[in-house]
Amino acid sequence: MTTTEPPPPPPPQPPASATPPEGHGHGHGHGHSHSHGPAAPVSKHLRKVIAAVLIPFAAAVVVGLLVLWPGGTPSHERTGVGFDRQTQSAKVTKVQELPCKDLSPSQTPPNGDTSTAEGRSAQSTATGTCKKATVEVSSGDDKGRTFTEIIQPDSPRQLKQGQQVVVAYEPKAPEGLQYSVTDVNRKFPMALLAGIFALAVVVVGRLRGVMALVALAISFMVLTFFILPAILQGSNPLVVAVIGASAIMLIALYLCHGLTARTSVAVLGTLISLLLIGLLGSLFIGWAALTGNTDDNTGLIHGLYPSIDMSGLLLAGVIIGSLGVLDDVTVTQTSAVWELHQANPTMGWRGLYRAGIRIGRDHIASVVNTLVLAYAGAALPLLLLFSIAQSSVGTVANSELVAEEIVRTLIGSIGLVASVPVTTALAALVVSADRTTGSDAVRAPRGGKGRRRKR
């Protein structure tokens, strides 16, 4: 008969009151404190130091919002030019194809020269097939009114039956010419795309994605209800942009990432970088004599509101445009340093900075490339025009229209590059100082005799 030996007794467990050895509790919680859950909070002393910097800054932003808060967009008499026109919704109810010569019998016949764009357009109009669209106004006081729109064969916008369009209304024009089609109504596809974007953010980001969408909505509210009306009322665009961007930064970062020391370090890094961008922008926009009045839209703004400083408006756009990418860089760098400290709590601030800056170099390369390509993509039609004209690179770069984009890109890129070492150094100093403070300041509760724990 076989006998079963009893299992060996379990190893003795340390008493519940046993104190773990020095070294951040490696004997008890190493597998948990460094690998799971959020980072440990910093010491009370460091929280006080960070609060001493950020609370006055936040208070100054609130005061600036209250002082410069506009009463609304100032009214003006519509010019009927560009975006400053009365518009209504409409629908194309009928489209007929007819010879262009029947629709415009009084037009001068072409001379047969098709070597120019005007000659080709005249030839196409004389011999091609045009469209006669009947359009019904579907909003406003004239709802149900119809008018006719003639579409030339070489027109970039070809209407079709059932299409939703936007029409401009000019009350001073003759009755038959008061309405004209200006654009296609894109509200539904754009709203659908926005809904898909919001759904993707929530599905992937979950609660943090919801907070990001809330922060995005608040950012648009600050832009719509504070920054734009305040500039139109004559406030300094640079001051308005700094205060508005600071408010967006505080709300977005703390709402998305929590009221923590890690987020506060990212806020400080973003603030320092924004100040650098503002300083460089003021210097080089003035030095390069950039007026900010380079196209029809800025010309219309200057005509309606001559008191607006257009070069200041250009600088405000540089600051606001750089803010979104700055937030990404500073949050990423701060998180990288925090995680490095969690992985190796014994690493000093120099080691943390060197490791963090190696991560930041990769981030710099990708972000700067992204920023330059974004501006180049926006200005692609303009660059094509210069290419068609066979202008030299120096001539193209010297024109104000292109020089604005170059200065905007370079200033924003310098701010982004500077944000990496600045934020990394701040984060490394905070976490390393917190480690030293935490190990040197372990004391008994205040109610006792002040006896220190043995080390």
What's the mean pLDDT in 229-234?
A: 84
Confidence band of 51 (pLDDT split at 50, 70, 90): confident
Which own/partner pairs from 251-255 qualify as long-range (CB within 8 Å, at least 24 positions apart)? 251/215, 251/218, 251/219, 251/222, 252/215, 252/216, 252/218, 252/219, 252/327, 253/327, 253/331, 255/211, 255/214, 255/215, 255/218
| Mean pLDDT of the region 430-435 | 73
Phi, psi at 448, each rounded to 5°: -85, -160
Least confident range from 118-132, 176-190, 281-295: namely 118-132
CB atoms under 10 Å from CB of 119, counted, come to 14
The pLDDT tens digits of the residues spanning 364-390 come to 877 777 767 776 777 777 777 777 767
How confident is the model at residue 290, as a pLDDT? 84
Average pLDDT of span 293-301: 74
Residue 87 above 80 pLDDT? yes
Token match 């981030």: residue? 363
Highest mean pLDDT among 29-43, 86-100, 115-129, 440-454: 86-100
Q: Give the DSSP letter string of 367-412.
A: HHHHHHHHHHHHTHHHHHHHHHTT--HHHHHHSHHHHHHHHHHHHH
**Highest-confidence segment of 38-42, 114-118, 226-230, 258-262:** 226-230
At residue 22, the 3 state secondary structure works out as coil
Average pLDDT rounded to a whole number, residues 199-209: 92
Of 110-124, 174-188, 231-245, 271-285, least confident by mean pLDDT is 110-124
Which two three-digit tokens encode residue 371?
A: 């920023």
**H-assigned helices in 177-226:** 187-222
Q: What is the DSSP letter of 443?
A: B
8 Å CB contact between 240 and 230:
yes
End-to-end CA distance of the chain: 57
Classify the C-alpha dihedral 12-16-19-23 as positive or negative.
Answer: positive
91 or 433: whose pLDDT is higher?
91
Q: Measuring CA to CA, which residue among 209, 266, 221 is closest to residue 247?
A: 221
Minimum mean pLDDT range among 11-25, 76-90, 95-109: 11-25
Distances (CA, A) of 323 to 214, 220, 334, 382: 17, 13, 16, 25
Residue whose C-alpha is closest to residue 315's, from 354, 342, 286:
286
**pLDDT confidence of residue 117:** 57
Residue 190 has pLDDT above 80, yes or no: yes
Give residues with Cβ within 8 angstroms of 56, minimum separation 6.
none
Please say if the pLDDT value at position 361 is more than 70: yes
In this predicted model, what pLDDT tens digit does every residue of 309-318 receive, in sequence order? 788 888 888 8
Mean pLDDT of 66-89: 71
Specify the pLDDT at position 171: 80
Q: What angle do CA 10, 13, 16 make, to 5 degrees?
A: 155
| 111-154 pLDDT tens trace | 555 555 565 666 666 667 888 888 889 888 888 888 888 888 77
Which tokens is 265 given?
């370090």
More confident of the two residues 4 and 73: 73
Using an 8 Å Cβ cutoff, are 164 and 89 in contact?
yes
- For all residues of the chain together, what is the average pLDDT? 76
| pLDDT mean over 74-102 | 74
Least confident range from 24-28, 357-361, 430-434: namely 24-28
Percent of the chain predicted with pLDDT > 90: 13
Distance CA 69, CA 168 (A): 32
Residue 44 reports pLDDT greater than 50: yes
Q: How many CB atoms lie within 10 A of CB 387?
A: 10
Most confident by average pLDDT, 97-111, 208-222, 363-377, 397-411 = 208-222
SS3 state at 13: coil
Q: Most confidently modeled of 12-26, 159-173, 395-409, 422-436?
A: 159-173
pLDDT of 296 strictly over 80: no
Model confidence at 78: pLDDT above 80: no
